[in-house]
Amino acid sequence: MESALTLLEYALVGLTAQEPLSGYDLKKIFETTEMRQFSSSPGSIYPALRRLEKRAFLTSSEEATGDRTRRLYRPTEAGKEALRAWLLAPVTLEELHDDGRTPILRFAFLGSIGAGRKPTRAFLESYREALGRYLEDLRELAEQLGEHPDARPRLAILHGIEQVKGQRRWIDLAEEELGLAQTSMMKEGSE
């Protein structure tokens, strides 16, 4: 252990794990896809890549694609291991408190470590469980705010409750699409 990468760093390892990428590629991904949450400024990406290489989570090699030379990054074994540990960790209430968007980011990356049905299902289960506890907290808070003269703070909590409900619906949807029906009793052999 003693890893603890930043979210940006995990994203860099996760993306390069799927295929070797240059800093410029990553920049492009951050500005065109839903990874907008990460800054696409070179001032964040390039230093992070250097950092990860120095810490031996990534390796790079100068390569000539067509005519230009680009420095392509890919994860080392240690990098893959750190990524795996991050992706396979169960979703906790604390994670939801810190930043509700990291669970789904982790989910999206599960393919980059070739995770099969079992870890995917385990991930969704822990997500569901954490959401359940989160929902309890929110309902309690909403009740406490019931006396508040201004309705808006309580409505803000109701917003959170609606979000949690949406996330739960999505888990059902995802399990269905992935053929992970929770009622099934069949043993699984994949992964």
Partner DNA sequence: TCGCACATGTAACGTGTTACATGATTCA
Partner DNA sequence: TGAATCATGTAACACGTTACATGTGCGA
Listed residue (119, 137, 125) closest to 172, CA to CA: 125
Quick one: what does residue 51 bind among DNA, its own copies, none, with the CB cut-off 5 to 8 Å set by partner type?
DNA
* Contact track, its own copies, 20-49, x by CB under 8 A: -------------xx-xx------------
Q: Could you say whether residue 6 binds its own copies (CB under 8 A)?
A: no
User: What angle do helix axes 77-88 and 117-144 make, rounded to 10 degrees?
Assistant: 50
126, 88 Cβ separation under 8 angstroms = no
Q: Could you say whether residue 46 binds DNA (CB under 7 A)?
A: yes
Stretch that binds its own copies, among 9-17, 52-60, 72-80, 101-109 (CB under 8 A): 101-109
Which parts of 126-155 interact with its own copies (CB under 8 A)?
138, 141, 150-153, 155
Stretch that binds its own copies, among 9-17, 47-55, 77-85, 91-99 (CB under 8 A): 91-99
Indicate the residue among 23 and 103 with the shorter CB distance to DNA.
23
Residue choice 19, 34, 36, 39 for contact with DNA (CB under 7 A): 39
Q: Which residues of 16-32 are buried (b: 16+ CB within 10 A; e: fewer)?
A: bbeebbbbebbbebbee
Stretch that binds DNA, among 21-29, 75-83, 101-109, 120-128 (CB under 7 A): 21-29
Indicate the residue among 88 and 104 with the shorter CB distance to its own copies.
104
d(CA 154, CA 145): 5
Which parts of 69-98 interact with DNA (CB under 7 A)?
70-71
- 100: helix, coil or strand? coil
Neighbour tally for 156: CB within 10 Å: 12
CA 36 to chain CA centroid, Å, is 13
Q: What SS3 string covers 14-42?
A: HHHHHCCEEHHHHHHHHHHCHHHHCCCCH
Question: Footprint of DNA on this chain (CB under 7 A)?
Answer: 6-9, 22-25, 27-28, 39, 41-44, 46-51, 65-68, 70-71
